[in-house]
A and B are shown apart, each in its own frame.
Chain A
Amino acid sequence: MENGRPAASEYFQRQVRWHPLEYAVWLAALLPFVLTPSHLSLASQIAITALFALSLDLLVGYAGLVSLGHAAFFGMGAYTAGLIAKHYWGEPLSVLLISGIFAGVLGYAMSHVIVRFRHLALIMLTLGFGLLLHEAANSASALTGGADGLQGFKYTSVLGFKFDMYGRAAYAYSLAVLFICFLVARRIIHSPFGLALRGIRENAVRMPAIGAPSLSHLRKAYTLAAVVAGVAGALLTQTTSTVSLEVLSFGRSADVLVILILGGAGRLYGGILGAVIYMVARDQFSGINPQYWYFWIGLLLVAVVMFLPNGILGGLSALYKKTQ
């Protein structure tokens, strides 16, 4: 016992400590300002997608809750940000916060239902809630603009920096929000609460048996993921100044799942890596018909599930361990 304790605490400290590679990743995130100043709007799209994937990672990767309807929260955040700007005020930071809270409230309400189910019922309920919200937004066209989307508002600047056509402020803003949310997520993952979540993922029956309030942990994780997804949605609205119905679509839920799995679920950088690869590839191949684009996505999914069960990051770390 005496030998075990220092070893365990050392293990956890090593987990929490920043790895040199992590500094490198975040420094590299600044490179687009210098290297590709003409592609900054793509870069901000990537940052937003990465944030969305990070929020799904909290659910799928850490808590082990499958979700086929995560776009519900993204869309909630996006529409909240759009509606506030259209009817009330256009100060981005406060709107970002409110959008996150709105999405969080929706997530908290849904979590009471969702966390009680497993297997097919869970998949169907998340899918069902997502579709329900999509249909509701489509039907309530007086409020949301329906299939035409929400237009006629504009976010002009954040903290005095103007959103211009080069997207410099947009990227800096998205990256800053991504970084802050990442820090929060990183802190949560390495907290006892984060460990408990992983415990629930590994053995859902055993955790309550050793005294962890499994359902309330899952509810918290679900609400948290909803807040982050809502923030990501609001970011998209603020940097593009439109909201389309697509933010709530099943396609968006499926895309973000693909991105996360591709990068590596259950790893903080999985969603970020997946978002970079997916968005850059989609931008490069934007010439081909989206229908054929999905052929390659499908093939990639099958390959990842069959040969790289932990995604690209998982594969890389296994490779690294082998060479050691």
Chain B
Amino acid sequence: MLSSLAAVLFDGFAYGMLLFLLSVGLSVTLGMMNFVNLAHCSFAMVGGYTTVMLMNKLGWPFFATLPMAFVTAAVIAVVLERVLYRRLYRATDLDQCLLTIGIVFISVAAFAWFFTTEQQSTRIPEYLRATLQFMGVNFAVYRVFLVVVSLAVTGVLIYSLEYTRFGAQVRAAVDNQRMARGLGINVDRAFMITFALGGGLAGLGGALAIEIIGLDPSFALTYLVYVLIVVAVGGLGSIGGSFAAAVVLGISDMAGKYYFPWLGAFLIYLVMVGLLMWRPVGLFGKR
């Protein structure tokens, strides 16, 4: 009983870390730039398919594909930002929603066209497939690896947004765009880099997610809801908040599936609606 509880907790935590990787980019762009980007999971899908193609068609090793997943997704995010998103920074929520949902529909159909609707799979290295035994509980090495990567990403993000010159510029641009421009900060460039970072992190998350939740063209819609829940509950622009929300969501989803399978996703939505009614700006949101 106790060991099964520990296993559920650990699996839920690892799953939460995955959700965190997928959503932290959205938290940054939505919180910083106030742009409702529902196409965030499409970037994740780009990263995932990059990894699949590089590994299965070109035979690249798993670890070499991860940076490529980040870069491809970041490049596509920047292109979209330059061509489409930029014009709607001042538009209403509805317009932003519609534009990005349109992009989701296009990406789902385009990926189905190029890669069929089949579930894609990759072969991760053998040493990541093993399990560790500790105190009678099995820990899958891949999940441990996920946790380590997520903690590293959290650390790097918090450091770069809070303690570097670039982070200060981004925060200044968000707080008061005109003032920041007046001080000579290149706001457009700061926003573009932020967007690239957000998209790239989604791509990395998508690549790492294949082993746990699989990858098919409907990924962009299925996980959109989870990602939005993490961001909305955690609080916009709060990395720590997203982290906490992702952990809560991951563990409660895993525990719900394990202990109350008949409830389905009902529990998750109920928790989200309740939390949002209690705190509309999210658990750790400021505005």
Flag A282-324 by CB within 8 Å of B: 1 or 0 each: 0000000101111101111110111001000000000000000
Does B108 count as interface, using CB distance less than 8 angstroms? yes
Known A-B contacts A291-B108, A291-B109, A294-B105; A123 and B277 likewise in contact (beta carbons under 8 Å): no
Q: Please name all residues of chain B whose beta carbon is closer than 8 Å to the beta carbon of A32 when the two chains form the complex.
A: none
Q: How many A-B residue pairs have CB under 8 A?
A: 116
Known A-B contacts A135-B269, A305-B95; A124 and B232 likewise in contact (beta carbons under 8 Å): yes
Residue of B whose beta carbon sits closest to that of A117: B280
Inter-chain CA distance A294–B221, complex, in Å, is 12
Flag B86-110 by CB within 8 Å of A: 1 or 0 each: 0110000111011101111111111
Is B102 a contact partner of A302 (Cβ separation < 8 A)? yes
Inter-chain CA distance A305–B36, complex, in Å, is 14
Residues facing B in A152-183 (CB within 8 A) are none
Does B2 count as interface, using CB distance less than 8 angstroms? no
Residue of A whose beta carbon sits closest to that of B87: A306
Known A-B contacts A123-B93, A131-B225, A301-B99; A139 and B105 likewise in contact (beta carbons under 8 Å): no
Q: 19 pairs across A/B with beta carbons < 8 Å?
A: A66-B93, A113-B277, A123-B36, A128-B273, A132-B266, A132-B269, A139-B264, A291-B112, A292-B109, A295-B106, A295-B109, A298-B105, A298-B109, A299-B106, A301-B101, A302-B106, A305-B95, A305-B98, A306-B87
Does B229 count as interface, using CB distance less than 8 angstroms? yes
Taking chain B's interface residues, is the majority helix, strand, or loop, or is none over half, making it mixed?
A: helix
Residues facing B in A234-267 (CB within 8 A) are 250, 254, 257-258, 261
Is A298 a contact partner of B98 (Cβ separation < 8 A)? no
Inter-chain CA distance A60–B92, complex, in Å, is 12
Does A120 count as interface, using CB distance less than 8 angstroms? yes
Flag B243-287 by CB within 8 Å of A: 1 or 0 each: 000000000000000000011111001101100110011000000
Most buried by B among A60, A113, A291, A300: A291
B271 to chain A: closest CB distance in Å? 10
Residues facing B in A108-161 (CB within 8 A) are 113, 116-117, 119-125, 127-129, 131-132, 135-136, 138-139
Q: Please name all residues of chain B whose beta carbon is closer than 8 Å to the beta carbon of A297 when the two chains form the complex.
A: 102, 105
Is A132 a contact partner of B270 (Cβ separation < 8 A)? yes
Does B236 count as interface, using CB distance less than 8 angstroms? yes
Does B84 count as interface, using CB distance less than 8 angstroms? yes
List 16 additional A-B contacts (Cβ < 8 Å) besides A121-B276, A298-B104. Answer: A60-B94, A120-B93, A135-B266, A139-B262, A254-B101, A258-B98, A294-B106, A294-B108, A295-B106, A295-B113, A297-B105, A298-B103, A298-B106, A302-B102, A305-B88, A306-B87
State which of A128, A291, A304 has its C-beta within 8 Å of the C-beta of B117.
A291
Does B217 count as interface, using CB distance less than 8 angstroms? yes
Inter-chain CA distance A294–B104, complex, in Å, is 9
Is B108 a contact partner of A302 (Cβ separation < 8 A)? no
Does A103 count as interface, using CB distance less than 8 angstroms? no
Is A295 a contact partner of B98 (Cβ separation < 8 A)? no
A residues in contact (CB < 8 Å) with B: 60, 66, 68, 113, 116-117, 119-125, 127-129, 131-132, 135-136, 138-139, 250, 254, 257-258, 261, 289, 291-295, 297-302, 304-306, 309
Known A-B contacts A139-B264, A298-B105; A124 and B99 likewise in contact (beta carbons under 8 Å): no
B91 to chain A: closest CB distance in Å? 8
Inter-chain CA distance A292–B87, complex, in Å, is 27
Is B98 a contact partner of A301 (Cβ separation < 8 A)? yes
Is A294 a contact partner of B98 (Cβ separation < 8 A)? no
Is B272 a contact partner of A128 (Cβ separation < 8 A)? yes
B31 to chain A: closest CB distance in Å? 10
Most buried by A among B30, B36, B225, B276: B276
Is A300 a contact partner of B280 (Cβ separation < 8 A)? no
Inter-chain CA distance A122–B97, complex, in Å, is 12
Residue of A whose beta carbon sits closest to that of B94: A66
Is A123 a contact partner of B276 (Cβ separation < 8 A)? no
B125 to chain A: closest CB distance in Å? 33
Inter-chain CA distance A172–B182, complex, in Å, is 64
Is A121 a contact partner of B98 (Cβ separation < 8 A)? no
Inter-chain CA distance A304–B84, complex, in Å, is 12
Known A-B contacts A66-B94, A302-B103; A128 and B264 likewise in contact (beta carbons under 8 Å): no
Is A301 a contact partner of B109 (Cβ separation < 8 A)? no
Residue of B whose beta carbon sits closest to that of A128: B273
Known A-B contacts A298-B104, A300-B102; A127 and B84 likewise in contact (beta carbons under 8 Å): no
Does B228 count as interface, using CB distance less than 8 angstroms? yes
Is B102 a contact partner of A125 (Cβ separation < 8 A)? no
Residue of A whose beta carbon sits closest to that of B102: A301
Inter-chain CA distance A299–B112, complex, in Å, is 16
Residue of A whose beta carbon sits closest to that of B83: A306
Is B272 a contact partner of A124 (Cβ separation < 8 A)? yes
Inter-chain CA distance A190–B139, complex, in Å, is 65
Residue of B whose beta carbon sits closest to that of A254: B101
Is A121 a contact partner of B106 (Cβ separation < 8 A)? no
B269 to chain A: closest CB distance in Å? 4
Q: Please name all residues of chain A whose beta carbon is closer than 8 Å to the beta carbon of B225 when the two chains form the complex.
A: 127, 131
Residue of A whose beta carbon sits closest to that of B263: A139
Inter-chain CA distance A110–B269, complex, in Å, is 15
Q: Please name all residues of chain A whose beta carbon is closer than 8 Å to the beta carbon of B273 when the two chains form the complex.
A: 125, 128-129, 132
Residue of A whose beta carbon sits closest to that of B270: A132
Inter-chain CA distance A281–B98, complex, in Å, is 20
